[in-house]
Structure 1
Amino acid sequence: MTEQNAYAIRIQKTGGPEVLAAEAIAPRAPGAGEALVRQTAVGLNFIDTYHRSGLYPMKLPATLGSEAAGVVEAVGEGVTHLKAGDRVAYLAGGTYATHYTGAAASMVSLPDFVSDEEGAALMLKGLTAWMLLFEIRPVKAGDTVLIWAPVGGVGTILTPWAAHLGARVIGVTSSEEKAAKAKALGAAEVVVGYDGVAEKVRALNGGKGVDIAFDSVGKISAEGSLGSLKPRGWFITYGNASGPVDPIPPARLAQGGSLIMTRPGVFTFLQPPGALARGAGLVFEALKAGVFKADIGQRFALKDVAEAHKALESGKTTGATILTP
């Protein structure tokens, strides 16, 4: 992709996938502390659909996208840890494009054993799994955890990583096919379907609640998560695949036995100095050790991103989806 053919996928208004449109751009030269990257792989994530639909408001017009990988073309003044030709991956706003210019401090050099596609597939989802497992209520051997969407983008990392840490994983998914894949990833048990989840989870766990519920589904799953927890259990709601969670009164947490609820965002956990390098280092180490794979379930050309959004929102994707500029 030459700079003469550079383009970005932008939205002028919020709405369905049809609002996504390609526009020619001129790649911006890097300023102090910045790097210009020719992107080779862009990750697709549910948060992109929230921005597109207006669920998470953005200033418009906007370029969507939140993670990518590529090759550094130029660096600005003061950048010493990167140089032209380096392969990098990063979390950033506005990655639905052929080129990206942004803070070099937010970019991580990719080890030789991590491909560009793996880097783009792993940054947001891998760091989200790191946050969930290590930074909120650290998962330890002997825990029992509930994972909704265990074969989704985050789930394909979260499920095997939690099992590797010694947790007993109970998954909740929508089909027998996905249940079989969840068990292959390390889930000990899987509930199929979204009705009566709490009762089914307790039946699988000797009548007891679980330590943590990792819930990316949202509106239709929140009560199932809360009902599945043991006293002082953690309800970690981190996604809205079925829509935003309805308001939960504090008394509901008391009724469940002093439950703890949090709605984390990964960027908050990456703000402390050294957090990005620490988190990415753990993700790459686990990938190298074979704990999980960068499960790339499907690929779309970046210009076909509307079709990719439709596939993601319809529940037809598994693992990560890569957009190719």
Structure 2
Amino acid sequence: MRAIQIHEYGGPEVLRRVELDIPKPGSGEVLVGVAAEGVNFMDVHTRQGKYRDSRTYPVRVPCTLGMEGASEVIETGTGVTSLCAGDRVAWCISWGAYADFAIVLYENGAFADRIRELTHGRGVDVVFDAVGKTTLRDSFRAARVRGLIINYGSVTGPMRDLGPYELGEAGSLFLTRPRLAESRRVERCQALKRRVGLGKWYS
């Protein structure tokens, strides 16, 4: 498969196109065929070596760049239970997207368990979920009682079997799906009110 790698830190000249074997997914991993990858400043900073000593983003050379993407699952490793070949997925903070294929860590809701652990079982006040079908119920688990879930994307598909009672069972949660159009409409109304208010103040 084709991949873009760096073997040393530096400018654009350190980017290399290489040929690699298609990787095999290990335990808790999935192999995806990369259809689209994100290109952002984190890739630039990685190439420049700004994360060479980072514990948050522990990527070291040599490495294949690209830390986010979207595609379909090709093959699953052992321990992967809720994904299968052909499922559409998106991922972030998993390097290797600048390639024809990539290995992605399968979490299976582990983020909710980790959030519960870090908050001593309480959960967070607000959860922002852009993934949708495969993560939304885990987002419920990550929220505190009467917490707010903001679902602003559905890259893995819409939730067609979600009943309102689930919000109650999960802790009397609030779920919203905001739209940019509504936000822009509210902003225009607020701006108009401010102009009217200023007119009255100056008159």
* 8 Å contact from structure 1 (residues 39, 100) kept in 2: yes
**Contact 1:106–1:276, Cα closer than 8 Å, also in 2:** no
Q: Does the C-alpha gap of structure 1 residues 277 and 48 become closer, same or farther in structure 2, counting only changes over 3 Å?
A: farther
1:52: which partner in 2?
Answer: 47
3-state SS of paired residue (1:284): coil
Which residue is 2:5 aligned to?
Answer: 10
Counterpart of 2:5, as a letter, is R
Number of residue-to-residue matches in the alignment: 124
User: Does residue 104 of structure 2 align to residue 102 of structure 1?
Assistant: yes
Q: Normalising by the residue count of structure 1, what TM-score does the alignment of the two structures yield?
A: 0.34
* CA 52–28 in structure 1, closer or farther in 2 if over 3 Å, else same: same
Larger proportion of helix: 1
> Which structure 2 residue ranges, 5 or more long, are not aligned?
53-58, 110-125, 129-137, 144-148, 155-176, 182-203
Q: How does 1:193-272 map to 2 (within 5 A)?
A: none
Match of 1:28 among 23, 26, 39: 23
Q: Deviations over 1:76-130 (max 9, x none)?
A: 12211101001100011222111011312279xxxxxxxxxxxxxxxxxxxxxxx
What is the letter of the counterpart of residue 80 of structure 1?
T
Residue identity matched to 1:69: A
CA–CA separation in structure 2 for the residues paired with 1:39 and 1:278? 29
Change (3 A) 1:10 1:59: same
Give the counterpart of 1:38 among 9, 33, 40. Answer: 33
Cα distance, 1:60 vs structure 2: 1.4
The aligned residue for residue 153 of structure 2 is 284
3-state SS of 1:70 partner: strand
Q: Shift of the alpha carbon at 1:290?
A: 3.2
Report sequence identity in percent: 36
After superposition, the Cα gap between the structure-2 partners of 1:41 and 1:82, relative to the gap in structure 1 and judged at 3 Å, is same
CA shift for structure 1 position 291:
2.2
Change (3 A) 1:79 1:106: closer
Superposition map of 1:96-245 within 5 A: 96-105=98-107, 134=126
| Distance change (3 Å), C-alpha of 1:283 and 1:289 | closer
RMSD: 3.3
Change in 2 beyond 3 A, CA 1:277/1:41: farther
Length-normalised TM-score, structure 2:
0.52
For residue 36 of structure 1, give the secondary structure of its aligned residue in structure 2: strand
**Cα 1:52–1:276, aligned 2, differ >3 Å: closer, same or farther?**
farther
Distance 2:142 2:34 in 1: 24
Paired residues of 1:27 and 1:101 also in contact (CA < 8 A): no
